[in-house]
Amino acid sequence: MQASPEIKAYLRTLGARIRLIRELHGLTLSKLGKATGVTGSAVWSYEQGRASPGVPWLFRLVDKFDAPASWLVTGLGEPPTATITNPAPTSTTTALPSDSELWGTIKELQEKVRRLEKAAREAEGKAAQKGRKR
């Protein structure tokens, strides 16, 4: 499976935000995994941008650690602090997409990843068939 450079870059930046949440709460990979229903190895993969966390997992992370969903998904806005607060917008604050719009974007990106994975598998299959014909 070969993801596009854009998806790889997004997953790396999402991973950095996941790591920040974990570190702000003083958790190990395994403790964050246990708190959110995955293994520590899965959390490590998310943090490294090697795997895409599912939407339900992101919802659990936001819910359990009161992290700003908009910031987690887009990186826009204020990152969480050790006391994780969501300040009220000011007149100089740029309007951010709603959480439902962000989750829709996540779902679209995940579908794009699935399509790219399928295309890569098909291309590998065609290449293998060409190799056998020679």
Residue 87 pLDDT: 42
Residue 88 pLDDT: 44
The mean-pLDDT minimum among 19-28, 32-41, 56-65, 69-78 falls in: 69-78
Residue 115 pLDDT: 81
User: Is 67 among the domain residues?
Assistant: yes
User: Is 91 among the domain residues?
Assistant: no
Confidence of residue 121 (pLDDT cuts 50, 70, 90): confident
User: Is 89 among the domain residues?
Assistant: no
Provide the H-helix boundaries in 25-134.
Answer: 29-36, 40-48, 55-65, 69-74, 99-133
Which of 48, 13, 22 has its CA nearest to residue 30?
22
Domain total for the chain?
Answer: 1
Highest average pLDDT, of 5-9, 36-40, 97-101, comes from: 36-40
Residue 48 pLDDT: 94
Q: What is the pLDDT of residues 86-117, one digit of tens each?
A: 444 444 555 666 777 777 777 777 777 778 77
User: Is 40 among the domain residues?
Assistant: yes
Q: Identify the CATH number of the domain in which residue 106 sits.
A: 1.10.260.40
User: Is 39 among the domain residues?
Assistant: yes
| Between 27 and 5, the higher pLDDT residue | 27
Confidence of residue 38 (pLDDT cuts 50, 70, 90): very high
Q: What is the chain's length?
A: 134
User: Is 128 among the domain residues?
Assistant: yes
Residue 97 pLDDT: 67
The mean-pLDDT minimum among 34-38, 58-62, 74-78, 129-133 falls in: 129-133
112: containing domain: 5-83+97-133
Cα 98-108-69 angle, rounded to 5 deg: 35
